[in-house]
Amino acid sequence: MKKEETKITISDIAEMAHVSKSTVSHVINGTKNVSADTKKKVKKIIDRTGYTPNLVAKALKKSETKTIGLIVSDITNQFFIDVIQAINEEALKDGYMLILGDSDDDPKQELELIRSFKERCVDGLIFSPTTHSEKYAAPYLDSVSLPVVCIDRTLDDRRDWVGTENRNAAKMLTRHLIELGHKRIAFISGLRGINTTEERIEGYKCALQESGITFDPRLLILGESRIVPSKIRSKERFKTIWDTDDFPTAIVASNNLMVLGIMRTLQELSIRVPEDMALVAFDDFEWADLFQPRITTIVQPCRDIGIKAVKLLLERIKNPTAAAQRVEYYPRLEVRESCGVMLGNKSKRREER
């Protein structure tokens, strides 16, 4: 039977080099000046023996694991995919590993993930709250010592947050359509009860009001964060609206998943973009340029949000009692071809269909 290989320890290295364990530790961690000859001798033995430090023991000793927990509300959303990539790259630069979880916009699942991350002794948490996080996640976070930074959606004013300005951005999208002559503008919302959705609805209503256009509740179509429910809801609502005399001539989709749902709905109803319907969207995505026509979007600074979230968390880890910071980025409008043509005669379009 093959003899089990014995793991080399720091004591073994010290004995081979004829130095103390603390000297070996200083060489490995660079925590104290060691003579060049001693350092060279110790490193040579480490390379020859293949010694690797016990990171778990080191973490327990320092009360840190060099891990960050990250929870997003929808891992399939391109916005979060881009933010996750930036967070992971920035965390690795600072020597941290990322543990990822998807709450699926379920506050109970979110709480279980947070508990699990805490049990695994993550050094801090970055997460995008869902509806009712204040009833589930917030009380638990208040009861434990865990540095937290919220992204995209806010939880409360006591916690660090980084995200996008939503009201003026949604107003910018709606105003763009108004300036093209549209007055009947539908708004496909995301999940109600979260600040991003409510702020974007506010921006949409504000643009209408400032232009003297009366808000029509029938044109506010309530969607979800997921594509399937939004497709079902928007399709039924559009079937109803399309057969009236005051049908919409333009649509604002409040996030990129809403775009997929509404594009499929319009296709099934034989409504062409932009000939029959103008379309703009909150959130840019790589394939916005591949759609025909290319879609006009609000571009969120995903990389900036992800990088800043890590920086805020590391600051919070170092200084747990510092005042909460809120960092808000202003997105930009990317004008493409999806809203360049106004509707023609309604009866003519019906004949074409």
Kindly report the pTM of this predicted structure.
Answer: 0.77
Q: Determine contact, residues 157/225, Cβ cutoff 8 Å.
A: no
Q: Are 266 and 295 in contact (CB under 8 A)?
A: no
CA-to-CA distance for 176 and 278, rounded, in angstroms?
11
Query: Is the bond preceding residue 274 a cis peptide, omega within 30 degrees?
Result: yes
- How far is Cα 87 from Cα 89, in angstroms, rounded to an integer? 6
Tell me the domain boundaries of the chain: 10-53, 66-164+302-330, 167-300+334-352
Class of domain 10-53: mainly alpha
CATH superfamily of 167-300+334-352: Response regulator (3.40.50.2300)
**Per-residue pLDDT averaged across 32-44, rounded?**
85
Q: How confident is the model at residue 239 (pLDDT cuts 50, 70, 90)?
A: low
Q: What is the DSSP secondary structure assignment for residue 73, as one 8-state letter? A: S
Looking at 3.40.1210.10, 3.30.1330.10, 3.40.50.2300, 3.40.50.720, the CATH number of the domain 66-164+302-330 comes to: 3.40.50.2300
- Round to whole Å and give the CA distance between 132 and 192: 11
Residue matched to tokens 């509740």: 217
What integer is the mean pLDDT of 234-244? 64
- pLDDT tier, 243 (very low <50, low <70, confident <90, very high otherwise): low
pLDDT score, position 185: 94
CATH fold match for the domains 66-164+302-330 and 167-300+334-352: yes
Residue 191 to residues 3, 73, 194: CA-CA distances in angstroms? 60, 11, 7
Quick check: 67 and 82 in contact, CB under 8 A?
Answer: no
- Distance between CA 266 and CA 234 in Å, rounded? 9
Residue 349 pLDDT greater than 70, yes or no? no
Kindly state the tokens that stand for 146.
Answer: 């865990």
Provide the percentage of residues in the chain whose pLDDT is more than 70: 82
Give the model confidence (pLDDT) of 164-174 as tens digits: 999 999 999 99
